[in-house]
Structure 1
Amino acid sequence: MSRYRGPRLRVVRRLGTLPGLTRKDPKRSYPPGQHGQGRRKRSEYAVRLEEKQKLRFNYGVTEKQLLRYVKKARRLPGSTGQVLLQLLEMRLDNTVFRLGMAPTIPAARQLVNHGHICVNGRRVNIASYNCRPGDVISVRNTEKSREMVKANLDSPGLANIPSHLVLDKDKLEGQVNGVVEREWIALQINELLVIEYYSRQA
Structure 2
Amino acid sequence: MARYTGAVCRLCRREGQKLFLKGTKCYSEHCPVAARNYAPGQHGQSRKKVSEYGLQLRAKQTAKRYYGVLESQFRHYFEMAERKPGMTGENLLRLLESRLDNIVYRAGLANSRAEARQLVVHNHYKLNGKKVNIPSLLVKEGDVISVAEKSRQSEKFKAIDETCGSRPVPMWLDADRTNYTVKVLRMPNRDDIDLDVQEHLIVELYSK
TM-score greater than 0.5 by the shorter chain = yes
Match of 1:21 in 2: 21
Residues 16, 38 of structure 2: 8 Å contact kept: no
Match of 1:30 in 2: 38
Equivalent residue runs for 1:109-128 within 5 Å: 109-128=117-136
Match of 1:134 in 2: 142
Q: CA deviation at 1:103?
A: 0.9
* Structure 1 residues 149 and 181: alpha-carbon distance in aligned structure 2, compared to 1, 3 A threshold: farther
Q: CA deviation at 1:174?
A: 0.7
Q: CA deviation at 1:158?
A: 8.3
> Secondary structure of 1:151's match?
helix
Residues 136, 176 of structure 1: 8 Å contact kept: yes
Root-mean-square deviation over aligned CA pairs: 1.8
Residues 103, 157 of structure 1: 8 Å contact kept: no
- Is 1:3 the equivalent of 2:3? yes
Aligned partner (choices 176, 183, 187) of residue 168 of structure 1: 176
Q: CA deviation at 1:159?
A: 2.5
Match of 1:67 in 2: 75
Cα distance in 1 for partners of 2:155, 2:110 equals 12
CA-to-partner distance for each residue in 1:53-96, whole Å, 9 max, x for gaps?
00111101110000000000000001100010000000000000
Residues 140, 146 of structure 1: 8 Å contact kept: no
Cα distance in 2 for partners of 1:155, 1:17 equals 22
Match of 1:46 in 2: 54
CA-to-partner distance for each residue in 1:10-56, whole Å, 9 max, x for gaps?
11111033444224321211111111111111111111111100011
* Structure 1 residues 143 and 107: alpha-carbon distance in aligned structure 2, compared to 1, 3 A threshold: closer
Q: CA deviation at 1:146?
A: 5.0
State the 4+ residue runs in structure 1 displaced beyond 6 angstroms.
none
- Is 1:191 the equivalent of 2:191? no
Cα distance in 1 for partners of 2:165, 2:9 equals 16
Q: CA deviation at 1:181?
A: 1.8
Equivalent residue runs for 1:152-167 within 5 Å: 152-156=160-164, 159-167=167-175
TM-score normalised per structure 1: 0.93
Cα distance in 2 for partners of 1:107, 1:57 equals 14
